[in-house]
């Protein structure tokens, strides 16, 4: 059997610290998976002058999946070549268009499905002679349709409700979005569709997230709403994401950024990175059993050794270690430990 290779991108800021915990957990849980480390973002600019070196892209394209820690460094804020350009290009090159961002807490089980390779992030941009700077939001119907179809399929397999978020009272791309959603809806009679304007959706998520099941939206609205959803379900330290294409490798990464203020202090919460690793095991490698074990271990580890963002005092390494201890217990050949539920 050919070896399964996962590319690990340690990234910037707290990235290498949380990536290290993901490596240790994966080595314990899936020792046959080979981790290939590559540079992306600020670290790549410093070493090679470009945020997505050819070698990194080639490795990602031939991998089974990509496990990515956050990138971004204030050092490059005013530069022409910036870390974020590398990750946006990586998303586009892998065509990882369907960004799944689950936000789960007591009573809330919301899945944000964010379009990831279109919209204002990728539209025409520039500066006019008079000094005006512009970014444009563009969508082809096919880009919306494939994303929306995935969101419907996910809703059909969950609680059967799809909240489609747009700004159709103002934007042409949003009116197109609505038409496409209504068209695809016919294929999924079991799913109830609700359209909502993005400003109202922000308020609803802040006040009543429990009402919603799957939320589908375009790239930038999804960026903003997913931080909000993370905040109302325990914070950014806990929120994972999966970015999937139709056939190639997916990208699995925390929703949070590189948190330069926390970098090097050993106190970043590795849970979002480890939950992204669990999504990788499930969606990237089809290893549902290991994925569930990791999710359970992260939950228990968080209860035992919370990091400062959750009001605790555990370091990144201490929480990582607590999670590995739970993994070892959960996977022990002697069977489930006393008190643990069946998987």
Question: Taking CB within 5 to 8 Å according to partner kind, which of ligand IPM, Mn ion, none is near residue 320?
Answer: none
Rounded distance, CA 106 to CA 89, Å?
36
139 is catalytic: no
Q: Is residue 243 within a helix (H) or strand (E), and if so which, with residue range? A: strand 240-244
Q: What minimum distance in Å lies between the beta carbon of 328 and ligand IPM?
A: 32
77 is catalytic: no
Q: What is the DSSP string of 151-214?
A: HHHHHHHTTSEEEEEE-TTT-HHHHHHHHHHHHHHTT-TTPEEEEEEHHHHHHHHHHHGGG-SE
Q: What minimum distance in Å lies between the beta carbon of 40 and ligand IPM?
A: 11
> Based on the number of CB atoms within 10 Å of its own CB, is 285 exposed (0-12), middle (13-18) or buried (19 or more)?
middle
Q: What minimum distance in Å lies between the beta carbon of 320 and ligand IPM?
A: 22
Rounded distance, CA 164 to CA 167, Å?
10
* Phi, psi of 109, deg, nearest 5: -140, 85
Question: Taking CB within 5 to 8 Å according to partner kind, which of Mn ion, ligand IPM, none is near residue 84?
Answer: ligand IPM
Find the part of the chain contacting Mn ion (CB under 5 A) among 50-58, 79-87, 215-223, 317-325: 215-223
Closest residue to bound Mn ion by CB? 223
Q: Please state, in angstroms and as integers, the Cα–Cα distance from residue 13 to each residue in 26, 82, 112, 329, following that order.
A: 21, 14, 26, 32
167 is catalytic: yes
Among 17, 73, 223, 282, indicate the residue that binds Mn ion (CB under 5 A). Answer: 223
User: Which one from 182, 199, 208, 289 is the annotated catalytic residue?
Assistant: 199
274 phi-psi bin (left φ>0, alpha ψ -120 to 50, beta other): alpha
Q: Is residue 44 within a helix (H) or strand (E), and if so which, with residue range? A: helix 42-48
| Neighbour count for residue 319 (Cβ, 10 Å) | 27
Question: Taking CB within 5 to 8 Å according to partner kind, which of Mn ion, ligand IPM, none is near residue 301?
Answer: none
By C-beta, is 235 or 257 nearer to ligand IPM? 257
**By the criterion CB under 6 A, which residues form the site for ligand IPM?**
72, 84, 223, 255, 257
Q: What minimum distance in Å lies between the beta carbon of 3 and ligand IPM?
A: 29
Q: What minimum distance in Å lies between the beta carbon of 224 and ligand IPM?
A: 9
> Based on the number of CB atoms within 10 Å of its own CB, is 202 exposed (0-12), middle (13-18) or buried (19 or more)?
middle
182 is catalytic: no
Question: Taking CB within 5 to 8 Å according to partner kind, which of ligand IPM, Mn ion, none is near residue 308?
Answer: none
By C-beta, is 193 or 272 nearer to ligand IPM? 272
Task: Please say whether the beta carbons of 57 and 102 come within 8 A.
Answer: no
User: Which one from 167, 212, 213, 309 is the annotated catalytic residue?
Assistant: 167
CB-side neighbour CA atoms (13 Å) of 134 = 10
Q: Does 115 bind Mn ion (CB under 5 A)?
A: no
By C-beta, is 93 or 321 nearer to ligand IPM? 93
User: Which one from 12, 68, 97, 121 is the annotated catalytic residue?
Assistant: 121
199 is catalytic: yes
Q: Does 166 bind Mn ion (CB under 5 A)?
A: no
> Active-site residues: which are they?
121, 167, 199, 223, 227
Which residues would be at the binding site for Mn ion (CB under 5 A)? Answer: 223
């Amino acid at each position: 059997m050919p070896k399964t290779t996962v590319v690990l991108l340690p990234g910037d800021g707290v990235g290498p610290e949380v990536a290290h915990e993901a490596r240790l957990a994966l080595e314990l849980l899936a020792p046959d998976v080979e981790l290939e480390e590559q540079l992306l973002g600020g670290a790549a600019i410093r070493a090679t002058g470009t945020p997505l070196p050819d070698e990194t892209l080639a490795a990602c394209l031939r991998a089974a999946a990509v496990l990515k820690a956050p990138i971004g460094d204030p050092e490059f804020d005013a530069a022409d070549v910036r870390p974020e350009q590398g990750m946006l290009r990586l998303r586009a090159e892998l065509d990882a268009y369907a960004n799944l961002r689950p936000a789960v807490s007591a009573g809330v089980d919301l899945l944000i499905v964010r379009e990831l390779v279109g919209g204002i992030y990728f539209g025409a941009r520039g500066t006019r002679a008079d000094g005006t700077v512009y970014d444009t939001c563009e969508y082809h119907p096919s880009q919306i349709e494939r994303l929306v179809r995935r969101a419907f399929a996910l809703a059909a397999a969950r609680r059967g409700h799809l909240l489609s978020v747009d700004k159709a009272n103002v934007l042409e791309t949003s009116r197109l979005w609505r038409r496409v959603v209504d068209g695809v809806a016919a294929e999924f009679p079991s799913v109830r569709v609700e359209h909502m304007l993005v400003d109202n959706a922000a308020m609803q998520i802040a006040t009543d997230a429990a009402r919603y099941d799957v939320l589908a939206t375009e790239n930038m609205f999804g960026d903003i709403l997913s931080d909000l959803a993370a905040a109302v379900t325990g914070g950014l330290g806990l929120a994972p994401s999966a970015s999937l294409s139709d056939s190639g490798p997916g990208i699995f990464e925390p929703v949070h950024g590189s948190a330069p203020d926390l970098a090097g202090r050993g106190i970043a919460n590795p849970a979002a990175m480890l939950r992204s690793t669990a999504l990788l095991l499930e969606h990237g490698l089809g290893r549902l059993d290991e994925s569930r074990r990791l999710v359970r271990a992260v939950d228990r580890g968080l209860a035992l050794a919370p990091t400062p963002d959750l009001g605790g005092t555990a370091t990144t390494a201490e929480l990582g270690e607590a999670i590995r201890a739970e993994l070892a217990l959960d996977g022990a050949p002697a069977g489930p430990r006393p008190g643990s539920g069946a998987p």
